[in-house]
A and B are shown apart, each in its own frame.
Chain A
Amino acid sequence: MLKQDLLFEIGCEELPPKNLKRLAETLAYNIQQALQKAELNFSALQCFATPRRLAVYIKELASVQPERMIERRGPALAAAFDKEGHPTPACQGFAKSCGVEVDELIKQETEKGAWLAFRQIQKGQNVHELMPELLQHAVMALPIAKPMRWGSSEVQFVRPVHWVVLLYGNEVIPAAILGQSTGRISYGHRFLHPEALKLDTPADYLPSLRQAYVEPDFAKRRELIREQLLTLAKQCEAQVIIDENLLNEVTSIVEWPTALLCNFAAKFLTLPKEAIITALQSHQKCFMLANQQDELLPHFITVSNLISRDVAQVIQGNERVVKARLSDADFFYQTDSQQPLEAYFTQLKQVVFQEKLGSLFHKAERLARLCTSLAEPLQLNKDLAKQAGMLAKTDLMTQMVGEFPELQGIMGYYYAKQQGQPIELANALQEQYLPRFSGDVLPESSLGCALALADRLDSLAGMFAVGEIPTGDKDPFGLRRAAVGLVRILIEKQLPLDLMVLLTQALANYQTYPNLNLKPNLTEQLQGFVLERLRAWYLEQGIATDTVQAVFAKQITIPYDIHLRIQAVQTFRVLPEAAALAAANKRVSNLLSKQQNQTNFILNEALLQEPAEYELFKHLQATQQQVEPLSARAQYGQAMQLLAGLGKVVDEFFDKVMIMVEDEPVKQNRLALLNHLRQLFLQVADISLLQ
């Protein structure tokens, strides 16, 4: 079968850099899936992405689909022909549905009898017929949030499209894709090689583009930039700070990267490090340089999209822009520094946090109250905790954060430190936003934890109070993330605080708000929401569903306690006794649930008859003595170990002792014994739910 390479390239206006890589990968994935579905074989598939093009190169693509045998089973032979051997209506109907005459149908013999069947060999379609529609669908299925339209056409795409190349071997597959007729003409670098590039075969693609000052391979281009960065850094004996996201972004905005070393005035180094990095990295897409001690140097590297005839001028231009940026930052920093953070209270009062939840100042007051009540369990100074809450949002009013919102918290840290506030407070102002995303680090300091907890509790309570409850995919205020952050801090910082108490406190803050109509079951609703996130968090971490269920069945509202129990159940379930004990618990639970009076089980030692039941009784008594203090001290792992030791006597009991005997008092006593067993396990978790 004939196999040739295929090239598909979409040329367009500059693509959004943040999505470029994903866009190209999705396109390649869509095409790959479609090819597999169409059973068109190929040996390899590669995607290319530059700011002006998305391309997919398919190696050794089969020219036609393989032949396919289509088989359909019709009526049973007995039902297909009447006694005289004439086809029945069922038979005729089937033949008609297959588009053939009755005599073209075949007989199919199976073990269960004979059937009438239809078999046809369908010829495969060829690439020329298949590709246009296949590619069209692959392109349409791209995740584009805001498609554009251009000219007078109805076509939509992420950016206006200028050309589409579709080559199979040395032939163009004619088609209209994204409003362009496919061809063999591509274009090089926008400035360095604006002329058309005529491609004879797909194999010409890479060499032609590289000659036309375009490196189409995303990964190669990225490594090229990295190499240039490292070389320049080496030249001035510094290390370059490479943020991989920034590197990807820069890779997405250049076709022919050229790194240039530039300088800025050393006086700007007095600015907070994060401020310089933010100004240069996220706003100017520059790379920063640091010395061996991780201190910033007054240099930066910019990556230009072309080789300039006058490099000095390019450098000068970049330095001028950066100087302006840093001068602004410096001005903001100096202005902000002139007043204490408390001075921003007036401004906080004018910014609405949420229409019904008051201003940011109201939020600060609520945070202060929550922090104060967290002070005792977290062993904090009450006044400091209150102060942290009051000051938490003040830096949002500073000019610096107004200009660079990414610096929220960070500027709070610098200004608080500068103004002689205790260092714990400064750290807490910065740490309150942690964890920012799933898997992010947690606050290190206790005060930071308190503030981070307070901030999340307040947002959860407030948004639930106004009815902004996340549904489906919609979670505009990031409440799910807030809930996970909340429980992560409680668990990983080993804080045995009760969610019910925390949420009640958070909601109590809103009790007096005039525009809020607090529903009475809001605490329960909130608690359910947070615990549901905790459950999902465990499942994401690969903890077995039944382990989680066994612990959640206890309806505990202290996340850290839940966590300890989860760990205990996890270690328990790998013990050799675990499966039998779980089964025994399930059996007991079933037996007990059928009993009318479940509370009045009274165990009477005198009624124990069989040795095996007396043995179980003795062991239960002994284990209870040891397990109760352990579980009271939350040492569930050890408690479970001890409980696992009951495996043998429990087995023995079920082997030798009949429970549902005629003698009612003896039966009740045995049920009481089993209830005792079950209650003992329930001290830790409901292991009857383990599978």
Chain B
Amino acid sequence: MKLIILDRDGVINYDSEHYIKSPAEWLPIPGSLEALAKLTQAGWTIAIATNQSGIARGLYTHEILADIHTKMQTLVVAAGGKIDSIFYCPHHPDEHCHCRKPQPGLLEQIAAHYAVSLAGIPFIGDRWTDVETALAVGCSPILVETSLIKAQIPVTEQKIPVFTNLLQAVNGLVKPHW
């Protein structure tokens, strides 16, 4: 099985400092639906790992998040792709849970769900915390530049691949260099 893990906000859809509180606010970044379709058609299983502290902040409920994800999945399917599973952390940063990225909890849940090793599994995120999370569990981090906040890459970690957006990143994966 070819598994790939993606962050959601700032990778698939536009992130917002006001949080994505309703389906209407969930707007795909141009090309991202197409990218997910390409991945699916190339045989990848797509899992999502996303921090959703908006729930703990009382900005939206689990049900509304489910509606948002229904919209996302509907659009992805319409474009010819499929998201296999979504793992999210509903906690507030102050709760110091194990699942909020950069803690590895979400990725470990995914590993358990698919019963696979995380070693070498691509993880596409938009923030440096995503890279840290990936490195902590042995995933191969990939950064996209569609973030709200530009990821600060430490000088020592210059070999992390960076793409302008998800579509570019996926083009790299679907057509490997030879």
Q: Residues of A at under 8 Å CB distance from B?
A: 373, 498, 500-502, 504-505, 507-508, 511, 518-524, 554-557, 598-600, 602
Query: Does B37 lie within 8 Å of A501, measured CB to CB?
Result: no
Q: State whether the Cβ of B71 lies closer than 8 Å to any Cβ in chain A.
A: yes
Q: Are B57 and A600 in contact (CB under 8 A)?
A: yes
In the bound complex, how far is the Cα of B57 from the Cα of A463, in angstroms? Answer: 45
Complex alpha-carbon distance, A518 and B57, angstroms: 39
Interface contact B31-A520, CB-CB below 8 Å: yes
Interface of A is mostly: loop
Q: Do B31 and A508 touch across chains, with their CB atoms under 8 A apart?
A: no
Least CB separation from A506: chain B residue: B78
Since A523-B33, A557-B24 are in contact, a sample of 19 more A-B pairs with Cβ atoms closer than 8 Å, ordered by chain A residue number, is: A373-B78, A501-B78, A504-B33, A504-B75, A504-B78, A505-B79, A507-B79, A508-B80, A511-B79, A518-B34, A519-B30, A520-B30, A520-B31, A520-B165, A523-B30, A555-B24, A599-B17, A599-B19, A602-B58
Chain A residues closer than 8 Å to B57, beta-carbon distance: 599-600
A504–B80 Cα distance when bound, in Å, is 9
Tell me if A511 and B30 are in contact (CB < 8 A): no
What separation, in Å, do the CA atoms of A498 and B19 have in the docked complex?
22
Q: List 5 A-B contacts (CB under 8 A).
A: A498-B71, A500-B75, A555-B27, A599-B18, A599-B57
Known: A523-B30, A523-B33, A599-B18. A498 touches B59 (CB 8 A): no
A373 CA / B58 CA spacing, docked (Å): 36
Q: B74 within 8 Å of A by Cβ?
A: yes
B167 at the interface (CB under 8 A from A): yes
Contacts of A511 in B (CB 8 A): 34, 37, 79-80
* CB-defined contacts of A599 to chain B, threshold 8 Å: 17-19, 57, 59
The residue on B at minimum CB distance from A521 is B30
Which B residues lie at the A interface, using CB under 8 A?
A: 17-19, 24-25, 27-28, 30-31, 33-34, 37, 57-59, 71, 74-75, 78-80, 165, 167
Q: Is the CB of A508 within 8 A of B19?
A: no
Residues on B with beta carbons closer than 8 Å to the beta carbon of A502: 78
The 6 closest A-B pairs by CB, nearest first: A520-B31, A521-B30, A520-B30, A504-B78, A505-B78, A508-B80
Report A-chain residues with C-beta under 8 Å of the C-beta of B30.
Answer: 519-524
State the Cβ distance, A316 to closest chain B Cβ, in Å.
63
Contacts of B74 in A (CB 8 A): 498, 501
Chain A contacts for B59, CB-based, 8 A:
599
Contact of A520 with B19 in the complex, beta carbons under 8 Å: no
B31 and A504 contact, CB distance less than 8 A: no
Chain A residues in 8 Å Cβ range of B79:
504-505, 507-508, 511
* Complex CA distance for A511 and B42, rounded to whole angstroms: 14
Q: Which residue of chain B lies nearest to A519 when distances are taken between CB atoms in the complex?
A: B30
Contact A501 B34 (CB under 8 A): no
Q: What is the chain A residue whose CB lies nearest that of B31?
A: A520
CB neighbours of B25 from chain A (8 A):
555
Counting chain A CB atoms within 10 Å of each CB, which of B33, B37, B78 scores highest?
A: B78
Which residues of B sit under 8 angstroms from A501, Cβ to Cβ?
Answer: 74-75, 78
Task: Specify which of A521, A554, A598 is in contact with B24 (CB 8 Å cutoff).
Answer: A554
Across-interface contacts of B27 in A (CB, < 8 A): 555
Given contacts A498-B74, A556-B24, contact A520 B34 (CB under 8 A): yes
Residues on the A chain within 8 Å of B18, using CB: 598-599
Q: Which residues of B contact A600 (CB under 8 A)?
A: 57
Q: How far is the CB of B66 from chain A (nearest CB, A)?
A: 13
Residues of B contacting A504 in the complex (Cβ-Cβ under 8 angstroms): 33, 75, 78-79
| CA A598 to CA B27, docked complex, whole Å | 20
- With CB as the reference atom, state the residue of chain A lying closest to B166: A520
Cβ of A152 to closest chain B Cβ, rounded Å: 60
**Distance in angstroms between the alpha carbons of A612 and B25 in the assembled complex:** 33
A643-B34 Cα distance, complex, nearest whole Å: 41
Q: Which residues of A contact B34 (CB under 8 A)?
A: 511, 518, 520
Q: How far is the CA of A412 from the CA of B27 in the complex (A)?
A: 40
CA distance in complex: A86, B78 (Å): 87
Complex CA distance for A297 and B24, rounded to whole angstroms = 58
Bound-state Cα–Cα, A600 to B58, Å: 10
A-side contacts of B24, CB under 8 Å: 554-557
Of A501, A520, A522, A556, most buried by chain B (CB within 10 Å of CB) is A520
Residues of A within 8 A of B71 (CB): 498
Taking CB atoms, residues of chain A closer than 8 Å to B78 are 373, 501-502, 504-505, 508
> In the bound complex, how far is the Cα of B25 from the Cα of A554, in angstroms?
9
B28 — which chain A residues lie within 8 A by C-beta? 523
Which residues on the B side are within 8 Å of A518 (C-beta)? 34
Closest A residue to B16 using CB positions: A599
Tell me the minimal C-beta distance from B19 to chain A in angstroms: 6
For A523, the chain B residues whose CB sits under 8 A away are: 28, 30, 33
In whole angstroms, what is the CA distance A602 to B58 when docked? Answer: 9
Tell me the complex Cα distance, A521–B146, Å.
Answer: 14
Q: How far is the CB of A461 from chain B (nearest CB, A)?
A: 12
Q: What residues on B are CB-neighbors of A508 within 8 Å?
A: 37, 78-80
Quote the shortest CB–CB distance from B132 to chain A (angstroms). 24
Q: How far is the CB of A685 from chain B (nearest CB, A)?
A: 12
Chain B residue contacts of A519, Cβ below 8 A: 30
Shortest A603–chain B CB gap in Å is 9
The interface residues of chain B lying within 8 Å CB-to-CB of A498 are 71, 74
Q: How far is the CB of B18 from chain A (nearest CB, A)?
A: 5
A511, chain B: closest CB distance, angstroms = 6
Nearest Cβ on chain B to A97's Cβ, whole angstroms: 61
Query: Residue of A at shortest CB range from B38?
Result: A511
Cα(A511)–Cα(B34), bound, Å: 8
Bound state CA distance, A520 and B28, in angstroms?
11
| Cβ–Cβ < 8 Å partners of B80 in chain A | 508, 511
In Å, the complex CA distance between A519 and B165 comes to 13
